[in-house]
Amino acid sequence: MSRVPLRIGVVGLVHDHVWGVLRGFAECGRAEVVAAADPNPPLLEKIAQDCGVEAGYAEYAEMLSGEDLDAVLCYTENSRHAEVVEACAAAGLHVMCEKPMADRLANADRMLAAARGAGIKLMISYPSTWQPALHHARQLVEEGAIGQVCQLRDHHAHAGPKEIGCSEYFYSWLYDASKNGAGVLMDYCCYGAKICTWFLGKPNSVIATAARLYKDYIDVEDNAFILMSYDNAYGIAEASWTQIGPLPEHGPVINGSTGTIIVRRGELWLATTEDKEGRTIQSPELPAHWRNAAEYFSWCLLEDVEPEGPTSAQLCRDAQEILEAGILSVQRDARVELPLPSL
């Protein structure tokens, strides 16, 4: 694909992360967002006013048939990702979806099958993907800087989508399990599931617990934990919508046989058996095309490169399997073995 700038359409504006991603496309210079589809007129007015995207559609099918596009950004409810990817695949359009990959594993599998069948690129964007410290942490782990990893714990939490100022368009579906897939388990355990899959691969089994402990105005869980068992390690995904204040911050703690790595505030802290007090290490900048979702997606399309690492559809599908096992574990109050049977 050689057309520059790429012509990009957006399906869905109800995921608040879309606005930051749109700024990235405006700044990268290799792609232009030319059309948007969403059933909410105020959101179409917002993208026209804030981003200069005048071509607005209530139905995405009309946009796909009426616009000359190279690719689509999917920022709908999680439950609609699969139908959007299938429609785009049928039209030969590449797709970038916001995290998590889907609401349920069956829909993630539909997305993967559609992309592979049509030969389109499918990228999943997690905001944490673009942190230099996280890539540096994985490099150090691969180099054996902390020996054999025995535990990876990822903590993601805040006071709740409504409390931190998310739009009603966003939090209304985050609080709806039929659209989100669950509650905080899907919204925030997904980070730990993805990071553990990226660093450690697919676990052997999962056990999870989740409950609505405080927020009496929602019908989904506001706290959740997923414990992933590997041959010689544990992965832990912690998620809460009831944390007051910014600490502890988002990010992983990685314990190995000879050291510990902590990623916090974009910095990497390393302690080893030789340096037990530990120190902060400056992480190298990522290559220009890895700086954000817009630059990386554009680069993949223009260079004809498959999205890889934490953006790959296969890896994010495997993370979705962990989330699915977590949901099943909560429902059954039991450990769930992986891989899951075909759904």
- Number of domains comprising the chain: 2
> How far is residue 111's CA from residue 279's CA, in Å, rounded to a whole number?
42
The per-residue pLDDT for 343 is 58
- CA separation for the pair 52, 340 (Å, rounded): 45
pLDDT of the chain, 343 residues: tens digit per residue: 667 899 999 999 999 999 999 999 999 999 999 999 999 999 999 999 999 999 999 999 999 999 999 999 999 999 999 999 999 999 999 999 999 999 999 999 999 999 999 999 999 999 999 999 999 999 999 999 999 999 999 999 999 999 999 999 999 999 999 999 999 999 999 999 999 999 999 999 999 999 999 999 999 999 999 999 999 999 999 999 999 998 888 999 999 999 999 999 889 999 999 999 999 999 999 999 999 999 999 999 999 999 999 999 999 999 999 999 999 999 999 999 999 997 5
Q: For residue 315, tell me if it sits in a domain.
A: no
Q: Note whether residue 76 is domain-resident.
A: yes
Query: Are residues 99 and 232 both part of a single domain?
Result: no
Distance CA 197, CA 199 (A): 6
Q: Is the pTM of this model over 0.95?
A: yes
Q: Which of 38, 36, 22 is nearest to 297 (CA)?
A: 22
Domain that residue 175 falls in: 131-286+320-337
> 267 to each of 249, 252, 284, how far by Cα in Å?
12, 11, 11
Residue pair 85/95 in contact (Cβ under 8 Å)? The answer is yes
Determine the Cα–Cα distance for residues 259 and 253; give it in Å rounded to an integer.
11
Examine residue 343 and state whether it is found in any structural domain, yes or no.
Answer: no
